[in-house]
Amino acid sequence: MASVRPGPLRQCVELAKRDLRLEARGLESLLVIAPFGAMALLLAPMAVGTNTPLLRQLGPGLYWLVVLLFGVLVFFRYSASDTPAQHAALRLCGVDPVARLAGRAAANTVLLLAVEAVLAPVAIVLYSPDLTGGLWLVPMLPLVAVGLAVLGTLANALAHRLAGRGTLGPLLVVPIAVPLLLAATQVLQAARLDKPASGWLLLVLTVDLAAALLMLLLARHLEDLA
């Protein structure tokens, strides 16, 4: 009896699990990238000095900047799943190109959430920021992670065959991720000033949806380029 090919959603879930299993073996994101991000948060107060009010004000912005700059390294890490042989095997197995990119984006989202979770207490201890309106961070953290993950996955696919992928890829992601950084840093500021913060949340959601739609439209074209 012929086997039934799993649907795109099932393929996406299995590919995400595969990437997370590979990451769990080396723990590159948590043992290398996150500690470097924590060191960046630690060094920033040394440059600013002991101006506690200024540090409290700069804390949230520095946190999100470090998440962006070090988070993109998660997307461009080299692994066994990036080899041409792996890509050829996925094509032969009939894996949908959208499912392949979506699975990678889902795994990157989980890893970026882990980086955010590791860096958040470091930022709170070092900067003692005013967390008025902190409830807005509950949806903001995963939404930013999703947006960065999808944008990073797309940029990684675009730069896949380039020798300088690790350098060029972040240069592609960081400029287009500016709306995410802006919204993430402004949501607490809006809450402290008793202004509506939902508009910033809506901006991040819009970027996420636009990035997901772009991935859906470009997936097959990027598969041909790979």
Please spell the DSSP secondary structure of 142-170, one letter per residue: HHHHHHHHHHHHHHHHHTTT-TTHHHHHH
Q: Which structure tokens are listed for 92?
A: 């032969």
pLDDT value for 36: 87
Integer Cα distance of 220 and 32 in angstroms: 33
Q: Does 189 map to a domain?
A: yes
Quickly tell me which residue has 């065959």 as its tokens: 161
Share of the chain above pLDDT 90, in %: 27
In the 8-state DSSP scheme, what is residue 49? -
Residues 184-219 have pLDDT tens digits of 989 888 877 778 888 899 999 999 999 999 998 888
Q: Does 2 map to a domain?
A: no
pLDDT value for 2: 46
Q: Give the domain range for residue 190.
A: 8-225
Q: Does 195 map to a domain?
A: yes
For range 35-62, the mean pLDDT: 82
Read off the pLDDT band of 29 (50, 70, 90).
Answer: confident
What CA dihedral angle connects 139, 137, 179 and 40, to 10 degrees? -130
Quickly tell me which residue has 């769990």 as its tokens: 24
Does position 63 have pLDDT exceeding 90, yes or no?
A: yes
Total count of domains within the chain: 1
Q: Does 3 map to a domain?
A: no
Quickly tell me which residue has 């947006």 as its tokens: 147
In the 8-state DSSP scheme, what is residue 132? T
Q: Does 182 map to a domain?
A: yes
Containing 30, the helix (H) or strand (E) segment is none
Q: Does 94 map to a domain?
A: yes
Q: Does 1 map to a domain?
A: no
Measured from the Cβ of residue 16, the count of other Cβ atoms closer than 10 Å reads 20
Long-range contacts of 49-56 (CB under 8 A, 24+ apart): 52/128, 55/126, 55/127, 55/128, 56/127, 56/128, 56/129, 56/130
CA angle, 142 as apex, 140 and 143 as ends, to 5°?
A: 60
